[in-house]
Structure 1
């Protein structure tokens, strides 16, 4: 029994172009040709093609098919590496399904930052964008802390919404009022998440790349009035934090004396 290229491809559940590609890369021998010039494939070609397809379906790269197919000594190593890659892909797909479920449950935008579906409606366009960038600069632990901060801010009030809607020409009084409203939240975050004052241990990029990316991002995403409010709030938050620490220091001797 002899088969044409198309017949062989159909039997193996693949395409003529795939068979021809296997010829080009040396995985499948070229068969003899009939008197009319057409290839004629035999059982050995069919079996070889089926074996190649089996390994390809497992995910073995074509560059490794020859070695794995002949039972080379590094076959276990190739298969272990492939299994690890498949495990990573499965984890990624499972996470994608979980993210989609959260997006649907919370009615969040499909492009909401990972893990922030439940609070996406409280984020301005700029805040959502900056969180996307943060996800490439900070580790998972830091992002989890950031999500908790956003959740608390969302419950606390509409200061973030007011800052998000602040026009570039906002007056002095409005800027100062918003900064004073935001400062206590920032100070509380600094208390609860000390790494914010020294994030080096939570960076996924170098400190230089993180700094440059952050500066460029905030200057493009926020208008001058918003940047001014954030800067003022940061200064006020540091003052509140210093006052908090001083109060703790003053209380410490009495605590020790009582003990």
Structure 2
């Protein structure tokens, strides 16, 4: 076998194999007349042992000693382990292909229906946004929230989506939240966008807080302002009236 074939078999680089040879960890195999190394079964097994031992944290000196002290009596077991390793690599490749295929399908299904950012959301979050669209939430605010969610760590989005799942599964709750989105978007258009003294702004802030499930509401009320995700980025793009609603919302939080 050539060095490239051995490296692919062991899932390492040819540079790693050469490093083991130069460091004296594994003897360099004999070279053919053309100058290329010719790796036999024993060479492959020794390299496999070296890779395994290095992976669990042994120093190169310790790996070299372990490889020298070992013999070939456990060759069948080593070959079986190598076959198992290849099987795991194949499963990993299939899993990555499935993930890419799923992402591609999500992106394709999002064209003309959902923002591309929504394709990166978990199914629970997509279900909630779909439910809100069904109840008439189609404006800029919904799209901003969807994009913000797609930028958060997956674990945070799953927690958020799981907490909001009751809203997604309850038509009345979805309708109330969709109405909040509509009212908020209305404040971004026309004369309403500049009316920061509108008495309806504090009421909208209260209604928005009321429609959020208790765990998320409590998290918002108790969290320091600098820990509220995307607060500055979101408010920068709001109209004066919409920003006033956010300010009213912040006044409802616990004093710091």
| TM-score, structure 1 as length reference | 0.49
